[in-house]
């Protein structure tokens, strides 16, 4: 955001006492700190600054962030959020979606949940490719991510270094899961008019075939190296219409993003190396700022927003 001439950062919010009341530039370790931007512990103090848009990145759970989102809307701020469950909540959490949509329209602002996945690779990119097809019968996306190149919290989130039994226990507890695949299935199905009646999801460990050491941890052969997660959209008679597969583990060979559309004609696209999760998520979020400011009031999704590139030299 600091690279964009059209953006002025006027405040930040963090409940961590170690960060609150400090300068944002110093908190993030910027070489050009201080920025003269205060980190507030009280969200309302920041919202009282009358920002045009709030970049929201606190939780993957829509239920947990509802109060935060509603407070931003009441302050008449547009929102770009990284909350995965906000990306397309109309099937998974319709009551919360309706409440947010109504509140946004009441206050005359718009909000969107987006990122690289959900928000781009397994939904927006799929729908974009479908534009050159006359008919789509099935949509598939495979994302292979080498988590050894990612930050420590993500490596822990996918269970790297756990035994297989420990991994399965953590999955049952809801501690290991990439959030957002069912939302992407729903978005793709609804957008392509595929008659998906049921959405299922499986999470299995990706077991290390050899010892793998990252900057932060070591995974021994036979331990969980990460997740192998599949979300499926099924028709009433059980036919698979949407298949979204995520393999995110340390030591992944040949990482890539691959989209395959079966129809007329068949379409396939592979991005060698894949989209870098951290950089891509930040880019999608910041690039969405001018779009959400121009969007009609209400709850929006990457499905209906013309998300594109926001040039650093763009004028306000």
Can you tell me whether residue 292 is helix, strand or coil?
helix
pLDDT in tens, 259-309: 999 999 999 999 999 998 789 999 999 999 999 999 999 999 999 998 788
Is residue 207 over pLDDT 90? yes
Q: What is the pLDDT of residues 233-265, one digit of tens each?
A: 999 999 999 999 999 999 998 999 999 999 999
> What does the mean pLDDT of the chain come to?
96
Q: Residue 109 is encoded by which pair of tokens?
A: 């602002």
Q: Which H helix or E strand runs over 244? A: strand 240-249
DSSP category for residue 220: -
Phi, psi for residue 186 in degrees, rounded to 5? -65, -45
Least confident of 1-5, 75-79, 140-144, 283-287: 1-5
Q: How many CB atoms lie within 10 A of CB 157?
A: 21
For 178-191, what is the mean pLDDT? 97
CA proximity to 110, closest of 98, 120, 101: 101
Tell me the HSE value of 177 on the side-chain side, using a 13 A CA sphere: 18
Residue ranges of domains in the chain, CATH in brackets: 12-115+279-300 (3.40.50.720), 124-274 (3.30.360)
**Residue 161 to residue 167: CA distance in whole angstroms:** 9
d(CA 133, CA 110): 31
Residues ≥6 apart with Cβ < 8 Å to 277: 116, 117, 145, 150, 154
pLDDT of 149: 84
């Amino acid at each position: 955001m600091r690279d964009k001439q059209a953006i002025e950062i006027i405040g930040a919010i963090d409940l961590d006492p170690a960060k609150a009341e400090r300068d944002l530039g110093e908190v993030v370790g910027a070489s050009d700190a201080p920025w003269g931007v205060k980190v507030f512990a009280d969200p309302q103090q920041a919202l009282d600054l009358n920002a045009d848009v709030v970049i929201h990145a606190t939780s993957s759970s829509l239920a947990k962030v509802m109060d935060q989102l509603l407070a931003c809307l009441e302050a008449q701020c547009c929102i770009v959020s990284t909350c995965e469950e906000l990306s397309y909540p109309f099937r998974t959490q319709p009551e919360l979606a309706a409440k947010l949509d109504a509140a946004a329209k009441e206050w005359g602002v718009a909000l969107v949940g987006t990122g690289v996945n959900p928000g781009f690779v397994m939904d927006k990119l799929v729908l974009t490719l479908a534009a050159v097809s006359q008919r789509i019968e099935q949509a598939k996306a495979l994302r292979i991510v080498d988590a050894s190149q990612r930050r420590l919290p993500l490596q822990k989130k996918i269970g790297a270094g756990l035994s297989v039994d420990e991994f399965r226990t953590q999955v049952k507890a809801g501690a290991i899961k990439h959030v957002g695949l069912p939302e992407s299935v729903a978005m793709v199905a609804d957008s392509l008019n595929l008659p998906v009646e049921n959405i299922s999801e499986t999470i299995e460990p990706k077991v290390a075939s050899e010892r793998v050491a990252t900057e932060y941890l070591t995974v021994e052969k036979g331990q969980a190296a990460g997740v192998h997660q599949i979300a499926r959209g099924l028709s009433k008679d059980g036919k698979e219409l949407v298949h979204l597969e995520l393999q995110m583990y340390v030591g992944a060979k040949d990482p890539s993003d691959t989209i395959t559309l079966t129809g007329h004609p068949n379409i396939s696209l592979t991005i060698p190396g894949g989209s870098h999760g951290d950089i891509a998520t930040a880019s999608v979020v910041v690039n969405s700022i001018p779009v959400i400011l121009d969007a009609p009031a209400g709850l929006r999704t990457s499905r209906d927003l013309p998300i594109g590139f926001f040039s650093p030299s763009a004028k306000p």
